[in-house]
Structure 1
Amino acid sequence: MTTPWGNPHFDDHEAVHFVTDRASGLKAIIAMHSTALGPAAGGTRFWHYDDEEKALSDVLRLSRGMSYKNAMAGLPLGGGKAVILADEARTKTPAMIAAFGRAVNRLAGNYVTAEDVGITVEDMIAVRRETDFVAGLPVEDGAEVGGDPGPHTARGVYLGLKAAVARRLGRETLADVHVAIQGAGSVASHLARHLAADGARLSIADVNRARVEALAAETGATIVDPADILFLKADVVSPCALGAILNEESVGRLDTAIIAGAANNQLATPGDGQRLAARDILYAPDYVINAGGIINVSTEYLADGGADLVRQRIDAIPGRLEQIWDEAAQSGRDPASVADAMAQRLIGRA
């Protein structure tokens, strides 16, 4: 593995910690991109990577995205992320999760963790036994916020998707709007339920056949092969799985007017945002539209408000997207570049 400085996704990260615990078999990387606005906050991903270099690239990209996401959401938090390197069998043990919690604790509050892909609320409860620097915990008696951030992420994506449909298609409702959703996990499932309730026509794909069949039965969606979902003829394509799926080859094959989904790091390179704009495909920058989860996590961790504040902050997502799209239209730049520039100014890296 190269050093972080040699990785193309290194962006003057403040710190990158490589964690090893022989007793439990834990191997993890914690990346802190920026603490300019507050402690570096971002979830932990449990994933099997083909090699360690890909794990490093992922955590560097994700932590930078969290800096931008938190800044654009107006939260007093910096950006961080962690990845736990799983084996091929995705072996996860209580000892491994406890060791990870101790690693977070050693950072003394400079990094705050929560759920991400492969990590559950139960895992965060176990991490909480080792450290106070964790959120995404079950709602306690008397508390208004907390728990799984997925439904909040989905609500923000739903609102942002509606704004994109109104802007690009001129339609004020989602009735009979065809949305192709890549993924059927927690966020994608909640999003699909919102869209189905509004009368949208859904196509859904996921590598987990049982999961996608259950979601399709609930929402009336059509099941599509995972290899085909991005390239389906649809009004909206909504990536809600892993990132870097929009690249030079895939953008050229898209048959949609809008990209609006929950996945992090949807663009493989900055040039892919320009490619979308060149094809007149309206892009909702991922870290802006999917900020609902971290908004809930922030409010829980900082205890600076209740459920009403969470709703207000999530309700602001469409307006923030409109600001980005307006500036993109006026400047001739693509929305992804505009959003990046806004976020960089907010964290003092213009």
Structure 2
Amino acid sequence: MFALMQSTRLESLHLSVDPVTGLKAVIAIHNSRLGPALGGCRYLAYPSDESAIEDAVRLAQGMSYKAALAGLAQGGGVAVIIRPAHVENRAAVFEAFGRWINQLDGRYITAIDAGTSVADMDCIAQHTQFVTSTTAAGDPAPHAAMGVFAGIRSTAMARLGSDNLEGLRIAVQGLGNVGYALAEQLHAAGAELLVSDIDHGKVQLAMEQLGAHPIANEALLSTPCDILAPCGLGGVLNRTSVTQLRCSAVAGSANNQLTHLEVADQLERRGILYAPDYVINAGGLIYVSLKHRGEELTTITAHLSKISSRLTEVFAHAQAEKRSPARVADELAEKVLYR
């Protein structure tokens, strides 16, 4: 555990167990140099406690880098609640989690993430002010999708020479809140959609509403397309899966898409342009951060527009230096965090 903390420069790791409600949770605070840590709360089943901790640590690091390159006065943090096989009272679990967050006295602010909902955030908010993505604050998913859509246009311009998405084959892996909202925007822009999701109902909806072509989950990565948009859980790009890709670029909303940084070099060698995940998917963090600070929607929208220019900057550095955009983005973020 300490080796993982040291290798990622994690600031602190907090664990909590509440036998009354069944809460088992992890909060990882990566870096608070720029401000209090802000990041999502995941509610997922994990194969082991160690894997839950590792997920929290990796995600927290990504949130620090995301905030740094998005120009936000926030640190990076993430919470993981390990979902048990059976839950008697879900609301009680999240209320207990809210009481625990409050004990950190503002060092960590939580938000919606994989497996959690606005209703869960409302439960947390009964016991702490250090939460956003509540009913009152609003769901960040549409804004996250907006940022990814703009980033896909920038990626298309850098790799294909035009930001016009009409007629492009774009494969969307994962139709959750962000993935589906992104698919709607891509459809409106005239893109041809290939979609996959473990929830067949969401795939069916995309077929009916967006004219999407369904692709089996195990076949999507090897299906020819212009742009692959991973929008589910992380780890989709590994040393094996990258050899199967038949696309010109990868640009999606999922966090921690790369299992290792070396995979980014593998993409570069194959001539596949990679949009660093924490750059392109910063829209959700921008929304929850600025909303929590009381900013108006016009200010938030203006800040969202910076995602495209930041991504273009990363691509330009990468092209000039003949390196992966992932390595360039890491260095740019570390200059902000550790200067």
- TM bucket normalised to smaller: over 0.9
- TM-score (ref. length: structure 1): 0.94
Instruction: Extract unaligned runs of 5+ from structure 1.
Output: 140-145
Distance 2:160 2:194 in 1: 19
Residue 113 of structure 1 aligns to a residue whose secondary structure is strand
Distance 1:125 1:292 in 2: 21
Q: What is the CA-CA distance between 1:72 and the residue it aligns to?
A: 0.6
Indicate whether 1:202 and 2:201 are aligned: no
* Aligned equivalent of 1:220: 211
The one-letter code sitting in structure 1 at the alignment partner of 2:4 is: N
Counterparts of 1:179-258 in structure 2 under 5 Å? 179-258=170-249
Contact 1:160/1:260 (8 A) holds in 2: yes
Q: What is the CA-CA distance between 1:298 and the residue it aligns to?
A: 0.7
Give per-residue Cα distances to partners, 1:105-124, cap 9 Å, x unaligned. 01000000000001100110
* Aligned equivalent of 1:345: 335
Q: What is the CA-CA distance between 1:215 and the residue it aligns to?
A: 2.0
Distance 1:204 1:91 in 2: 35
Counterparts of 1:123-202 in structure 2 under 5 Å? 123-139=120-136, 146-202=137-193
Distance 2:217 2:86 in 1: 22
* Aligned equivalent of 1:77: 74
The one-letter code sitting in structure 2 at the alignment partner of 1:328 is: A
* Aligned equivalent of 2:65: 68
Q: What is the CA-CA distance between 1:172 and the residue it aligns to?
A: 3.3
Distance 2:102 2:319 in 1: 45
**Which of 26, 29, 35 does residue 26 from structure 2 map onto?**
29
Distance 2:9 2:162 in 1: 42
Distance 2:3 2:219 in 1: 35
* Aligned equivalent of 2:48: 51
Instruction: Extract unaligned runs of 5+ from structure 2.
Output: none
Q: CA RMSD in A?
A: 1.3
Are the structure 2 counterparts of residues 330 and 209 from structure 1 closer, same or farther at C-alpha, using a change threshold of 3 Å? same
Residue 111 of structure 2 aligns to a residue whose secondary structure is coil
- TM-score (ref. length: structure 2): 0.97
Are the structure 2 counterparts of residues 158 and 9 from structure 1 closer, same or farther at C-alpha, using a change threshold of 3 Å? farther
Are the structure 2 counterparts of residues 7 and 169 from structure 1 closer, same or farther at C-alpha, using a change threshold of 3 Å? same
Distance 2:4 2:261 in 1: 16
Indicate whether 1:329 and 2:319 are aligned: yes
Contact 1:216/1:223 (8 A) holds in 2: yes
Indicate whether 1:286 and 2:277 are aligned: yes
Q: What is the CA-CA distance between 1:12 and the residue it aligns to?
A: 2.2
Contact 2:21/2:89 (8 A) holds in 1: no
Give per-residue Cα distances to partners, 1:118-168, cap 9 Å, x unaligned. 1100110110001000111224xxxxxx31000000000000001111221
Contact 1:243/1:266 (8 A) holds in 2: yes
Distance 2:142 2:86 in 1: 28
Contact 1:44/1:82 (8 A) holds in 2: yes
Are the structure 2 counterparts of residues 39 and 268 from structure 1 closer, same or farther at C-alpha, using a change threshold of 3 Å? same
Q: What is the CA-CA distance between 1:292 and the residue it aligns to?
A: 0.5
Greater share of helix:
2
Give per-residue Cα distances to partners, 1:230-251, cap 9 Å, x unaligned. 2210000000000011011011
Distance 1:187 1:271 in 2: 27
Q: What is the CA-CA distance between 1:52 and the residue it aligns to?
A: 1.0
Q: Which moved more, 1:220-229 or 1:170-179?
A: 170-179
Q: Which moved more, 1:82-91 or 1:18-27?
A: 82-91
Residue 36 of structure 1 aligns to a residue whose secondary structure is coil
Q: What is the CA-CA distance between 1:92 and the residue it aligns to?
A: 5.9
Tell me the number of residue pairs that the alignment of Structure 1 and Structure 2 aligns. 339
Distance 1:28 1:134 in 2: 16
Q: What is the CA-CA distance between 1:88 and the residue it aligns to?
A: 3.3
* Aligned equivalent of 1:41: 38
**Which of 82, 99, 103 does residue 102 from structure 1 map onto?**
99
Indicate whether 1:86 and 2:83 are aligned: yes
Q: What is the CA-CA distance between 1:9 and the residue it aligns to?
A: 8.1
Distance 1:40 1:92 in 2: 28
Contact 2:158/2:315 (8 A) holds in 1: no
Residue 318 of structure 2 aligns to a residue whose secondary structure is helix
Residue 226 of structure 2 aligns to a residue whose secondary structure is strand
Contact 1:9/1:57 (8 A) holds in 2: no
Give per-residue Cα distances to partners, 1:23-66, cap 9 Å, x unaligned. 00000000000000000100100000011111111000000000
Are the structure 2 counterparts of residues 22 and 10 from structure 1 closer, same or farther at C-alpha, using a change threshold of 3 Å? farther
Contact 1:86/1:92 (8 A) holds in 2: no
Counting aligned pairs with the same residue, the percent is 39
